[in-house]
Structure formats: structure tokens, C-alpha cells
Amino acid sequence: MFKKINSCGLLGINAFHVETEMEISKGLPEFSIIGLGDVAVKESRERVRSALRSSSLRFPEAKVTVNLAPADVKKSGSLCDLAIVVALLSLTGEICIDVSDSVFIGELSLGGDIKPVSGVLPMAILSKKEGYKNIYVPFENAYEASVVDGINVYGVKTVRELLSHFDGNCTITPQKKYDIKSVSIESELDFADVKGHSIAKRAIEYAAAGGHNLLMLGPPGSGKSMLAKRLPTILPKLTFDESIDITGVYSVAGLIDKNSPLITSRPFRSPHHNISLPALTGGGSIPRPGEISLAHHGVLFLDELPEFSRSTLEALRQPLEDGEITVSRTGGKFTYPCTIMLVAAMNPCPCGYFGSKKKVCSCTDAKKKTYINRISGPLLDRFDIQIEVSEVDYEKLSSGKKEEPSAAIRERVMVARELQSKRYKNTGISCNAEITDGMLDEICVMTPDAKENFKDAFETLGLSGRAFSRILKVARTIADTENSELIEKKHINRAVNFRTLDRKYWSN
Ligand SMILES: Nc1ncnc2c1ncn2[C@@H]1O[C@H](COP(=O)(O)OP(=O)(O)OP(=O)(O)O)[C@@H](O)[C@H]1O
Ligand SMILES: [Mg+2]
């Protein structure tokens, strides 16, 4: 007797279809699972046996063989437990209904309960794409799967409940579709609270408008962290596709909130500086996306940048260029997306006051050098916009003057973003920071005097090839905020000015 039940597996954040094939034949009682499964898959045998016993169901006294196809892709975890049980119950006659239009995902407990799993959203998306009508998932994951339109989602609590459903004795009600309109994205933070800092605010506005990486350097208490935390309040709202992308990452990481399964606000991740390398980049014995991927389509904020370990920081270099990160583990290679804005804040020296208008720096030259050099040249090169945030004076702090609110800044950001959306329609990119090398000449066209100025600056400042393209992209954004088709001299000059910190702080 042979049966095939549909299920899914996960590779990184991508789901793939798994056919759970089962054969029951005469012979010595045996239960084996083949098809490149890991330890958790092999242990499925014990969970299935025990769950059936606990549900007062019979395990056949026969040779039971399960094959998880395709057999050449490594499967990990317990995602196929439910499909194995359904196959078994179909072959023993407990389930008599045709379930070929359904997909089953879930882990079994020894007591016959269906336990929640990670990655249900990408699996539901795949199942819908492949034309399945129904997806049966653990009850706790049903709301998450209901984000996907066009497929019936059934949340299952126990094996017994599933049997009653197929018997027709007590059918499970399909999960109500997730209502995206019921989400509010208000924030308590606002740029109106930040006094002064007009240049820094303008720089942050450009960063938000073009999706550029930003570095803020300044003495303690000058407002760097305060500025960075308000960045999400001026970023554009997520599109539905971006929401789904991000939710997929959180789903695989097992971080979906049961009550609000769709991520609808741009991620702002702010890991502590003692974070480990796998926690930042992804990986671990059970591979999971790291902070850099949890910030996908959002902001990764590294406060106190030099306090992060050098190896951790250097590991960011390639993913920042590629927009994705690949981690190798014994279970295979996993690729996670990470199209992010990197925002960092730091003091210029260990005491914090080098360059301060208010206090004298007490660090020796050697100490300053060691500290600042924790940020390597190549990493610094990846910050498109680098600014000094110096102390705001008493008059400004105490003036009581209302500063421009985030909503007003955001409106300008949106105008520039809409221009970019139109320009980049069907190109696979969404903002100026993502302009590829091949697109640069066509999109970043300079006026003759802008070109001349840029040449002078390039030679005088000894800029790298990467700095060249990054300055052009920032200049493109500045021009966009002024609705200018060509990049003019003033745009280039402003963009170049955002790249001069290294001459002051990094050159001894
Ligand atoms: N420009 C400002 N307007 C209003 N409040 C400010 C400003 N700058 C600093 N503050 C106040 O000072 C506090 C400390 O600022 P913040 O934490 O941003 O400093 P920082 O530059 O990150 O310092 P550190 O280098 O020590 O991390 C803020 O929470 C805020 O109360
Ligand atoms: Mg700070």
C-alpha cells in the first residue's frame, strides 16, 4: 500500500515542496525514514508512534517506509511529522478523504498535540503558488499563514482533532484572513524633540530619501543615539511585498507575534556591541537569520561602533555590498536576505571629547589611533554619509522653539522616494543606494561643472573607486530631493562633504 502526502521543507528562508511518500508492506515490523533527513527527522519515528498511542490509534504491525522526496535535498527539523501521520492514517483507513489538494505542516508532541514550527509563512506562500487549496498548520501558526490570500488555512491542535475533521464529526473552521487594515504604525519618537542639529537632520533626511548608510561621530551626549532612533519615523511605509519579505525572515527565525503576524513597520534593529558573530550574521547549530537579516528592508543601528569586535564588523562588509548573506553549516549553505541601511554612531576617541567644543580630550595620540582604527578603512568606505554631531549649545536646548516634526520631513522623503520608485520600476531595485555599477552612468548624469568639481575633490581627497560611486549615488539623492534631473555642482559638493570625516579623524 502506498500513499503520498504534501508537505514542505525550508532552506534558508526559502520553502520547498516535500512529498512524504509512505509504503506499508508485509514483513517484520519496522519503521524507517529515508530521504536525507537530519536527526530531528529520524526522531520523527518516535514522535509519530507515541502520538498515535496517546491518541488511542493503532500503529500497523508491518514494515513502514517513509521517503521524503526530493531525496537529494537535506531536510531538517520536524516539519513533516504531521504529513507522516496523515499518510499513515490514510493507509490504515482512519482517513478516507482525498487530501491531494492539501499541504500538511507541523511537529508532533508525544501526547498527540501539534506543536508550532518556524517558517510557516514562506511555506504557505509556496503552497498557494503551487496551486494547493488547503494548508494544515499548527494552531499557533494559523494566523501567520492567513496572511497569504487564496489558500484555506486550517489550524490544528491535536491528531484527534484532525481525524474528527476528516470524519466530518467536528470540522475545523478555516482561519479568518488576516486584516491588514487593522494595523497602526504610530511611534512615540519624533524629530521635533531634537533641538538644533540642522545639518545632521538634513543628512539623515538624505540617508532616508536614498536608503544610504550613515555614520555619526561626536562627543558623549550630543544626541547621536537620539537622532538614529528617530530615523524610522521618516522612512517610507512598507509596501505589501516588503512586508511579506520581512515577515518571511521573522517567520523562519521563529519571531512572529501570534497576535500580529504580518510585520508592517520597517525593522529597526539595534544589537548590543557584545553580540556574537552568528547572532549578527546568522547561522548557529539550528540555522537562523541574524540581526543583519532581521533588519532586512529596514535599519541596522550599531551604537558605539568601535566597541563591536573587529571580526564582527568585518563580517558585515560583503553582505552590505551584496544585500544577502550566506552562512555555511554542516547542514548545508543558507542564504538570508539583508538589504539594509546601516546606521552607526561612535565617539571620536576613548574619552569621547576629541574635537569637542566643550571639553578637552584626555587621550594620548596612540590611544586615539588605536580606538579609531577599530573601524577599518573598507568598513568606513561603506558609509555613504558621514557626519559630525557636535554638542548643541544651551540657548538651543532651552529655547523652547518647536523643531520640525518627523511628519514634515517624511513628506519630503516620500517625494524623493516616489521619484525613485518611478525611475526604478521593473529594474529590481527600489532606491538610489541600490543603483548597480552598470546603471551608474545612465542614472547619475552630472552637469559639466559638477564633473569638474568632482574630479578635483576625487584627486585632492584621494577617494576610492567605491567612494566615487557612493558619492554619486548620494548626489543623485540630493538632486532628487530638489527634483533636479541632472546632478549639479552643489549636489556633488554636498555629497563630497559627507565623506570628509576620515581626513580629520582617521589620518592620524
Ligand atoms: N539636540 C538635542 N536635543 C534635545 N535633547 C538632547 C539633544 N542632544 C542630547 N539631548 C539629550 O541628551 C540625551 C543623550 O543623548 P544621546 O544618547 O543621543 O547622546 P549620544 O550622542 O548618543 O551620546 P553617547 O556618545 O554617550 O552615546 C538625550 O536622551 C536627550 O535627552
Ligand atoms: Mg549614544
In the reported structure, the alpha carbon of residue 303 is separated from the centroid of ligand 2 by a whole-number distance in angstroms of 6
29 is in which domain, residue-wise? 2-167
Atom of ligand 1 nearest to the CA of 228: 18
Residue 399 Cα distances to 125, 373, 395, angstroms: 54, 38, 6
Residue 32 CB coordination number (10 Å): 11
Domain-embedded: residue 483? no
> Which of 222, 227, 353 most suits a substitution to test ligand 1, by most atoms within 8 Å of the C-beta?
222
Domain-embedded: residue 300? yes
In the reported structure, the alpha carbon of residue 31 is separated from the centroid of ligand 2 by a whole-number distance in angstroms of 58
Q: Are residues 226 and 152 in the same domain?
A: no
Distance between CA 434 and CA 261 in Å, rounded?
A: 28
Distance between CA 258 and CA 261 in Å, rounded?
A: 6
Identify each DSSP E strand in 139-227 by its residue range. Answer: 152-156, 214-217
Q: Are residues 157 and 204 in the same domain?
A: no
> Which of 431, 464, 492 is the last residue before a domain boundary?
431
User: For each of the chain's 508 residues, which pLDDT tens digit applies?
Assistant: 899 999 999 888 889 999 999 999 988 888 888 877 777 777 888 899 999 999 999 888 899 999 998 987 777 778 999 999 999 999 999 998 999 999 999 999 999 999 999 999 999 999 999 999 999 999 999 999 998 999 999 999 999 999 999 988 888 999 998 876 655 556 789 999 999 999 999 999 999 999 999 999 999 999 999 999 999 999 998 888 898 899 999 988 989 887 788 888 899 999 999 999 999 999 877 788 999 999 999 999 999 999 999 999 999 999 998 999 998 876 678 889 999 999 999 999 999 999 888 889 999 999 999 999 999 989 999 999 999 999 988 888 888 888 999 999 999 999 999 999 999 999 989 999 999 999 999 999 999 999 999 999 999 988 888 889 999 999 999 999 999 999 999 999 999 999 988 878 887 5
Tell me, letter by letter, the H, E, C secondary structure of 29-88: CEEEEECCECHHHHCHHHHHHHHHHHCCCCCCCCEEEEEEECCCCCECCCCCHHHHHHHH
Q: Are residues 157 and 221 in the same domain?
A: no
Residue 324 CB coordination number (10 Å): 17
Tell the residue nearest (CA) to atom 17 of ligand 1. 225
Atom of ligand 1 nearest to the CA of 193: 4
Q: Are residues 142 and 263 in the same domain?
A: no
Residues with CB under 5 A from ligand 2 (ion): 225
Residues with CB under 6 A from ligand 1: 194-197, 218, 220-226, 345, 347, 392, 397
Distance between CA 338 and CA 138 in Å, rounded?
A: 28
Q: 3-class SS at 215?
A: strand
Provide the CATH number for the domain around residue 119: 3.30.230.10
66 contacts 32 by C-beta, under 8 angstroms: yes
Domain-embedded: residue 206? yes
Q: Are residues 233 and 310 in the same domain?
A: yes
Residue whose C-alpha is closest to residue 151's, from 115, 105, 191, 82: 105
User: What are the cell numbers at 177?
Assistant: 484572513
Of all ligands present, the nearest one to the C-alpha of 218 is: 1
Distance between CA 123 and CA 112 in Å, rounded?
A: 23
> Which of 431, 458, 476 is the last residue before a domain boundary?
431
355 contacts 344 by C-beta, under 8 angstroms: no
Tell the residue nearest (CA) to atom 9 of ligand 1. 223
Q: Are residues 144 and 199 in the same domain?
A: no
DSSP 262: S
∠ at Cα 287 (37, 35), nearest 5°? 10
Domain-embedded: residue 404? yes
Atom of ligand 1 nearest to the CA of 196: 1
Domain-embedded: residue 96? yes
For the chain, the residue count is 508
Residue whose C-alpha is closest to residue 341's, from 320, 318, 311: 320
In the reported structure, the alpha carbon of residue 168 is separated from the centroid of ligand 1 by a whole-number distance in angstroms of 63
Q: Are residues 289 and 152 in the same domain?
A: no
Q: Are residues 127 and 162 in the same domain?
A: yes
In the reported structure, the alpha carbon of residue 230 is separated from the centroid of ligand 2 by a whole-number distance in angstroms of 13
Rg (CA), the chain: 28
DSSP 390: P
Q: Are residues 163 and 219 in the same domain?
A: no
> Which of 197, 215, 226, 387 most suits a substitution to test ligand 1, by most atoms within 8 Å of the C-beta?
226
Provide the CATH number for the domain around residue 294: 3.40.50.300
Q: Are residues 351 and 424 in the same domain?
A: yes
DSSP 288: E
Domain-embedded: residue 71? yes
User: Does the N-terminal peptide bond of residue 219 adopt cis geometry, omega within 30 degrees of 0?
Assistant: no
Q: Are residues 149 and 270 in the same domain?
A: no
Atom of ligand 1 nearest to the CA of 216: 21
Residue 193 CB coordination number (10 Å): 13
Q: Are residues 162 and 272 in the same domain?
A: no
In the reported structure, the alpha carbon of residue 297 is separated from the centroid of ligand 1 by a whole-number distance in angstroms of 26
Domain-embedded: residue 469? no
Per-residue confidence (pLDDT) for residue 185, from 0 to 100:
56
Domain count, the chain: 2
User: What are the cell numbers at 352?
Assistant: 569621547
Q: Strands 107-108, 114-115: parallel, antiparallel or unpaired by DSSP?
A: antiparallel
Distance between CA 47 and CA 106 in Å, rounded?
A: 12
Atom of ligand 1 nearest to the CA of 222: 21
H-assigned helices in 211-289 = 224-229, 240-252, 277-281
Domain-embedded: residue 495? no
